[in-house]
Amino acid sequence: MRISIGTLSLLFLTVSAAAAHAHASLARASPSVDSTMSAAPHEVILTFTERLEAAFSNLTVVDASGTEVSHGKAQVNDNTMRISLKPLNAGIYKVNWRAVSTDTHKIEGSFTFRLDAQ
């Protein structure tokens, strides 16, 4: 397969421009977004594409009735945010997060995971 120099240059410029204007985004989560688990997790870990400002970033987990099941304050280290969980029963849990990257861009979101009966 042959790719022209012009095509490669255009691709490089497009990727470079997108990266220059990018802000932090959620790269991965454990438990995974919309996953079903057979064993209860002991913590939630979120990894972002950029470093976070600990003072302005937060993470909580609630059960289906809205009762908080996260324990303590979210810990932020570089681009990772984590929080411990209380013992969980079978059910659906919602992870709510707010992240402020070092470029001061604020993002927030939520997702669910399911814990099947053990």
Q: 20: which 2 tokens? A: 């220059």
Cβ burial of 21 (10 Å; 0-12, 13-18, 19+) is: exposed
Residues 113, 70: contact at Cβ < 8 Å?
no
Q: Using one digit for the tens of pLDDT, what is the confidence trace for 9-61?
A: 444 444 444 444 467 899 999 999 999 999 999 999 999 999 999 999 999 99
- Cα Rg of the chain, angstroms: 18
Min mean pLDDT across 1-5, 13-17, 73-77, 83-87 is at 13-17
Q: Using one digit for the tens of pLDDT, what is the confidence trace for 85-113?
A: 999 999 999 999 999 998 889 999 999 99
Q: Which domains are seen in the chain, by residue range?
A: 24-115 (2.60.40.1220)
Cβ burial of 95 (10 Å; 0-12, 13-18, 19+) is: buried
Bridge partners, 107 (sequence order): 99
pLDDT at residue number 2: 56
pLDDT at residue number 24: 83
pLDDT at residue number 103: 87
Positive or negative torsion for Cα 102, 104, 105, 106: positive
Q: In a 3-state reduction of DSSP, which class is residue 78?
A: coil
